[in-house]
Structure 1
């Protein structure tokens, strides 16, 4: 069995291997969740709901058609948690750790797949990076569970509290947004700083990207070793880290400020909270939209401008090589910088005293264009399939699915079977990455013209 899995992974192209790896785990998870042992009622689960739950877990989304808390048995919840952990770490990270456990050598082909799945530039140090990712993930999730237990053990007892602390910590770090608190998610803890702050920290840590972790830790180690000034050490951060941190901070604070202003006196969301609780709830909403899926205020009860802001934040999502979805903060940063260079008439796109390669700019624009096309197409199809539902409800749902967020205006369980299947497809595309999916289906069969440069001719645009 192990040899068959090994041959399967190394047989296909890097892109197709990633696609197939996630698909196999989704289908396997769906089969297990269909079994009577997985449901609390000990009956077979509808195949569509089982597939939906498996997909939302592996794709770390959080949209659910049945209550995770009440519908699934303990066994079913454990299966969901395993799928979340697998989805958060990624197919090739888990596969590489399996090879290391089995003491198998990681081949060049497998290193190429890891490189593609983690969006890394080079091949050197990839296995060490995978080890660090796994170790860092377990440490972060362990710390999160430890702090959660201070609140959840008094609420649910020792065993119930520890179980919920572990589940919530893994789900938060993996940006899954699936919880065991019932249909209202974390609304009961909107005033609780332990649950809210720890959840926000886990979401940011998981969503900021593994490569950013190690870059920051490298700078921190250098600072301890050389005792240089913080500012001087920060200058040695990579351009990627600088762009990610800058865009992330701008989105978090601007999103929180807008939500705070718009929802300040909304009686259905934040009117009865004190000023500290309102600030905390605003930051939670700004952070969870990128792309966690937990909620402390009702999404359906927010004002329309707040919902629009949430859609924008969901679409942007987290950062590359992390557990979050969306087009990614780095993509947005590069697109903005590229547009700025065009407006200013510059030949090169520059940031932080560095030049961004034109290939990066082209890829960022392609990701934005493909993602918008998929989102608009998906929303349009949903409006045809669900004419009785409002456009905002469906647009919110489609954005949440494609960006693997998990927030909803409360319509997921009411969707028809075709709509659920479409949402499943959007979640899958969102987790794999729109451009990866496009490349997988757009690889040229013919190679005759490779390297041949055709005559250049301008086209009027704008």
Structure 2
């Protein structure tokens, strides 16, 4: 069979590709960013503001042009690639999306509106069509995210450390969410005060769950979607998503990115950040998808959603909110909503999602390795890391104590109308959510002072390192308790499971507690000044809930003044990024530390 091109023609094609590759590599990155921003701006304008026929045509025209640009860009790079098949494999997700767009585009060009009319007249397809369009739009957002992710190494040129970059990422996410929530189509009344939008965005991005307006009735479906995306991006961190897409396509990242992900995930293994990050993303998607399916069927007849779309969206929303320990709900009374408060199977699923998200991704990966190794023969036994065992023990003890104490203190009040089994489930659920999530199946306005005190302690400890939850973390709490006991016993080392904890870790634990207590004290003091009519215990409870990114409240959040809301916003942000991270970002590192003065003693106690 005669080849399509001669040898000379192939050489000319390769020479042409080589000559224009340099020009394309200089022009295309800028064009990609501009088109991506224009496309995102058009989507935001199209969905966020009222449309006339002319403005809708312009917005859709820009979106359509971006489709053509992405297809052209992909085919151009495919043409310039020395090994086209390898390029397709390395960019498999983008390849699937682009080929899908080409396929649907050809169908539309060949059959036009008649095809769409026939589809819309088919009963089953007309029922599925809205979800299909939503799926295509999500695909489009994936393309734009890929483009931004590929351009994200530009951030590495900023002269900022990992701690400052982490704080900056949350600030950008919060401000972007504020702008989106302020668009007219996001709220029922087409208006929201800037501080309320900022508070809601900060609460969602910092996966806290405190609200100043009712999520169920104040926001439209689009607004609730924005809140859900903020929870998702804030739970794993938007920088992690950008790094995930970058590593997915380039197979490598800069030292700055790996250091940032290493600090965010609280892992000591610098070289494994790329693989760990992928597992984090895939684990999150798997848990949230599984939770959505279980929640969908466990709603049962407890609540009337009206349409299946609302039921599906509510299931996905609560699964994402649960796994990310956010505590946001689409019910006015949270999970205390009439009908939902008695769905005990649903509560157990949400509790499992909360616990899983609060254990920490490194601990979950370690547990997964142990389970995998146990199933395989002729492979050495995989022992859980000290960190994982500590997380499991402390989490289990705190959950047990919280469940027992809640049942004992509230059995004659909040639990008096429930059977013993249901009362235990309610107590367990509140013990789970009090540490990290902020869901409630009881009326917190009627909880007694002793139980509020216990809840404040549980909230302050919080979840585990590298998780979606807040607080000082379970390992920090364990190190502090063990260090205090060993000091009183005269031991020179702090040990767990026949391993000695380094003094560097102990010093970090004490520093974290000192910074956190100082922040809580200062914030509560300021709140008592600007909220003089509110009980001090309620202010303290609110502040600890904000710092620990829990989201439980005694009902005072919406009534806070503008200054009070700003104080809570700052507490949520500091609690999410961590007091030590903030201190590292603001402090100047010592240039030289390899010296030591003579020893002396000071009187303690």
Moved more, 23-32 or 94-103: 94-103
Residues 193-233 of structure 1: CA distance to partner in whole angstroms, max 9, x if unpaired? 221100100000000100111111111111111399xxx96
For 1:146 and 1:169, the matched residues in 2 are separated by: 9
- Is contact 1:331-1:364 (8 Å) kept? yes
SS of the residue 1:131 aligns to = helix
For 1:387 and 1:78, the matched residues in 2 are separated by: 36
Instruction: Decide which of 197, 209, 212 is 2:360's aligned counterpart.
Output: 209
Structure 1 gap ranges (5+): none
- Is contact 1:26-1:58 (8 Å) kept? yes
For 2:151 and 2:316, the matched residues in 1 are separated by: 33
Structure-2-length-normalised TM-score: 0.73
Q: Compared with structure 1, are the counterparts of its residues 391 and 356 closer, same or farther at alpha carbon in structure 2 (3 Å cutoff)?
A: same
Q: How does 1:414-425 map to 2 (within 5 A)?
A: 414-425=559-570
Q: How far off is 1:97 after superposition?
A: 1.6
> Which structure dedicates a bigger proportion of its chain to helix?
2
The answer for the alignment partner of 1:461 in structure 2 is 604
Q: How does 1:434-449 map to 2 (within 5 A)?
A: 434-444=579-589, 447=591, 449=592
- Is contact 1:152-1:162 (8 Å) kept? no
Q: Does residue 161 of structure 1 match 2:332?
A: no
Instruction: Decide which of 337, 354, 375 is 2:520's aligned counterpart.
Output: 375
For 1:221 and 1:101, the matched residues in 2 are separated by: 24
- Is contact 1:153-1:159 (8 Å) kept? no
Q: How far off is 1:125 after superposition?
A: 1.4
Instruction: Decide which of 475, 478, 484 is 1:339's aligned counterpart.
Output: 484
The answer for the alignment partner of 1:139 in structure 2 is 286
Residues 372-400 of structure 1: CA distance to partner in whole angstroms, max 9, x if unpaired? 11111111111111110001110110000
For 2:410 and 2:378, the matched residues in 1 are separated by: 45
How many correspondences in the alignment? 453
> Of the two, which has the highest radius of gyration?
2
Instruction: Decide which of 64, 79, 95 is 2:211's aligned counterpart.
Output: 64
Q: Compared with structure 1, are the counterparts of its residues 9 and 185 closer, same or farther at alpha carbon in structure 2 (3 Å cutoff)?
A: farther
The answer for the alignment partner of 1:19 in structure 2 is 167
Q: How does 1:356-435 map to 2 (within 5 A)?
A: 356-435=501-580
Q: How does 1:259-408 map to 2 (within 5 A)?
A: 259-266=406-413, 269-408=414-553
For 1:207 and 1:9, the matched residues in 2 are separated by: 30
SS of the residue 2:335 aligns to = coil
For 1:52 and 1:137, the matched residues in 2 are separated by: 25
Residues 294-333 of structure 1: CA distance to partner in whole angstroms, max 9, x if unpaired? 0001111111111111111011100000100000001101
SS of the residue 1:226 aligns to = coil
For 1:213 and 1:233, the matched residues in 2 are separated by: 17
Structure 2 gap ranges (5+): 1-32, 34-147
Moved more, 333-342 or 148-157: 148-157
Structure-1-length-normalised TM-score: 0.95
Name which structure has the greater RCO, CA cutoff 8 Å, separation 6+.
Answer: 1
The answer for the alignment partner of 1:196 in structure 2 is 347
For 1:401 and 1:233, the matched residues in 2 are separated by: 42
Residues 37-70 of structure 1: CA distance to partner in whole angstroms, max 9, x if unpaired? 21122x2311000100000000000000000111
CA RMSD, 1 decimal: 1.7
SS of the residue 1:321 aligns to = coil
